[in-house]
Every structure is written in structure tokens, then in C-alpha cells.
Amino acid sequence: MSTTDQPTVLHVGGSAPYDVVVGHGVAQRLVDLLGTRPTRVALVVAEALVELAGPVREALAGAYRLTEVVVPDGEAAKTPAVAARCWDALGEAGFTRSDAVVTFGGGATTDLGGFVAASWLRGVPVVHVPTTLLAMVDAAVGGKTGVNTDAGKNLVGAFHEPAGVLCDLSLLAGLPRRDLVAGMGEVVKCGFIADERILELVETQDVEAVLDTDGPVLRELVERAVAVKIDVVVGDLKEAGGSELTGAHPGREALNYGHTMGHAIERAEHYGMRHGDGVAIGCCYVAEVARLAGVLDEATAARHRAAFARVGLPTGYDGADFEELLAGMKLDKKTRGDQLRLVVLDAVGRPRILAGPAEEHLRAADALMRAHA
């Protein structure tokens, strides 16, 4: 991991390779990632970030015909209606297959803009400039795009890898601390599924150093979390993995660790809960399910609560009742037929699929989740 002021370039291989650039003040690399092929570029920007997007806007306007599409903040952007409005803007501007989309915002903007790029003319290039920690380590990398419906989160979408990602850590300086903390939910998750060094940094470094957007600790955490996602995605771009065989790596489904319950909680809260908070609670919940099922040891289950709590994340929830949450979990994309499938751990760095968990274990873990709320 980088220890200098120079940007770190993490390469994503595969059939459509691209680079993830991590550093401070890297917006100037945007035109390099887009190249000379596009004539028009659409900047999809979250409403609250229009002013912050100034440097990106200037860089794009100097090289391309720029169309700016302002979208709602947060999950309110991830609707079919907003996507349709973006398509209309591309149509009015005469966008062709050689033109491109740039997203500027958090994970919701990235998901929406990526889906718009994936679906316009069956796919145009997109470069993501994530502005939150959560988006940098999760939504911007890996090519998953989508919008929400009344039935659930991210149920409509497409796999569409970006042409590049710019993780400009300078953009995190103005992020509210609560949002920065929420982003740590995905970072710590990556520690549990693949890179124990992430957990060691969170557990041993001063919390203020961990959350210092100008410091080396947070930069290393971002780089490590991005590297985890790259390693998993390159091996299983379209989530074709997920064997139930004991000891088999679940492929890209490993990245959904904690998300089955996390998404159910977010849905129950009408997406008013931060995604990273839901993931943290979900990871603690599924660790208890695995412990009750005899898959995970008690110390590692307890380590989940300690690690997430140390950076200020919630580890419990007592809102919606168990039946509502169970119904939400069954909407998870990993479910096959009526059988619930959970990503669990045998140990740190050893994810696997637990198919058809016992309802008594699900209920017992639910009771523990409520006790820690």
C-alpha cells in the first residue's frame, strides 16, 4: 500500500480492464481515463454536490461537450423515474455509443449513473468519481449498477464495469463524520472476508487516525478495501460463484457478507438508514447465526461487535419485527427458490455459503441483535 503523496493505481483485470486511482487531488486524471473517443460527456451529479463538482465540471467542459444532469441526493436518486429523466437528457443531447457518462456523488449516484450508462444504447462508457468513503470502497468498483423498486433494493440493474474510478480522498474532507463512519461498515466487512490487516488497523490505531481523511491510516484502509473488492470481482464478475460445498469460496457473493439482513433492515426503514450501518448490523447478525450453527467460533463472532463498534457503527437493531425482516431477507438476490442462503465465515478470511439456515438460529440471532441495539 502507498505511503507517499503519489496516487496509487490499482488495476482491475479481466475482459474490460480499468484502473482505480486513489490519492489526493486526482481529479485531473479524469480526462486521461475518458480518453479522446467521446465527443459528449454527461455529468450525473447529486444535487447537494453541484458546487463541489466544480473542478470536475471544468475539466470535462474543456475537453468535451458537457451535459449536466442533477439528480436527487441519496437513495431518492435510485428510482426508475430518475433513470428515465437521465435517459431523456442523453437523448436530447444526441448521445451516441462513443460518448460517456461521469458520475459524481455517493453510492446511490454511482449506482444510478452506472445503470443509465449500462442501459443507454445497451452500454456506453462510465467513469465514477465517488465522493463518499462508502462509494469509494463499494459502489464505484466492480460494475454493479441498479435502482430500487417497492419490492426491494437493487433488484433492477445490470453489470457494467466502469472505464475508470477516481477515488479522490480530498473529497472526504467535507463529509459529515456520521457518513464517514458509515462508510467504515464496508471497509471492516472487507477485513472479515479477506484482509485481516484491515481489522488490525481498526483495532490498534487511534480512532481519530482511522477517520483522518488526510492521514495514512484511512488511505491504507481504502486501498486495502478496494484491493479486496478487485480480487473478488475479477474472479467472478457476474456473481456466478456461490457453491454450497463446505469450504468453497462463494465468489462475488462474499462481498454480500452482512447484506442479507442489512438490506432487510434498510427496506424496513424505507431506506432511511445508512447502508454502512445496515451492513455493520448485518455482519454482526450473520456472525451469530454462524456461531449458533456451529460454523464460527464465539471469539470471532464477538470480534465483529467490537470492531464495528470501535469506529462508531451500530451492532444491533430493534425496529421491525422478526417476521418482517425474514420476509425481507428472502428477497435477497442469493435466495434460490424458497431457500435462504447466507454468506457466513468459517474464520476470518474464509467466507462460505450457508444454505437453508435453521429458523431457530435465525430467531436466536435476532434476539441477540435486539439485545445489542
107 is known to lie in a ligand binding site: yes
Q: Is the pLDDT of residue 190 over 80?
A: yes
Residue 151: which pLDDT band, with cuts at 50, 70 and 90?
A: confident
Amino acid 15: pLDDT: 81
Rounded Cα gap, residues 303 and 32, in angstroms = 43
Residue 95 and residue 24 in one domain: yes
Active-site choice (229, 305, 352, 361): 229
The answer to whether the annotation marks 78 as part of a ligand binding site is yes
Q: Active-site residue 238, yes or no?
A: no
Active site residue 229: yes
56 shares its domain with 199: no
Considering the candidates 40, 189, 219, 252, report the single residue annotated as catalytic.
252
* In the block, residue with C-alpha cell 417476521: 323
Q: Is residue 270 part of an annotated ligand binding site? A: no
Do 212 and 201 share a structural domain? Answer: yes
Q: How many structural domains compose the chain?
A: 2
Task: Find the farthest-apart pair of alpha carbons in the chain and give their distance in angstroms, rounded.
Answer: 61
Do 114 and 242 belong together in one domain?
A: no
Q: Is residue 347 annotated as involved in ligand binding?
A: no
Q: Is 259 a catalytic residue?
A: yes
- Of the residues 51, 122, 208, 270, which is catalytic? 122
Give pLDDT tens digits for 213-266. 999 999 999 999 999 999 988 876 666 555 565 567 888 899 999 999 999 999
Q: Which of 109, 144, 174 lies at the terminal end of a domain, its last residue?
A: 174
Is position 154 annotated as part of the catalytic site? no
Domain that holds residue 48: 8-174
Burial (0-12, 13-18, 19+ Cβ within 10 Å), 206: exposed
Q: Which of 151, 174, 197 is the last residue of a domain?
A: 174
Last residue of a domain, one of 148, 174, 200: 174
Model confidence pLDDT, tens digit, residues 257-285: 999 999 999 999 988 899 999 999 999 99
204 is in an annotated binding site: no
Q: Could you give the CA distance from residue 313 to residue 364 in angstroms, rounded to a whole number?
A: 22
**Which residue among 161, 256, 341, 352 is the active-site one?**
256
Assess whether pLDDT exceeds 50 at residue 2.
no
Quick one: average pLDDT of 307-317? Answer: 98
Q: Which of 50, 58, 4, 56 is nearest to 26 (CA)?
A: 56
Mark whether 37 is an active-site residue.
Answer: no
The answer to whether residues 182 and 313 touch, using CB atoms and an 8 Å cutoff, is: yes
Residue type at position 1: M
CA distances to 107, 111, 160 from 181, in Å: 15, 20, 28
CATH number, domain of 301, equals 1.20.1090.10
**Same domain membership, residue 328 and residue 357:** yes
The answer to whether 275 is a known ligand-binding residue is yes
In this prediction, residues 135-143 reach a mean pLDDT of 88
Q: What value does the mean pLDDT take over residues 95-99?
A: 96
Grid coordinates given for 23: 490519492
The answer to whether 351 touches 250, Cβ cutoff 8 Å, is: yes
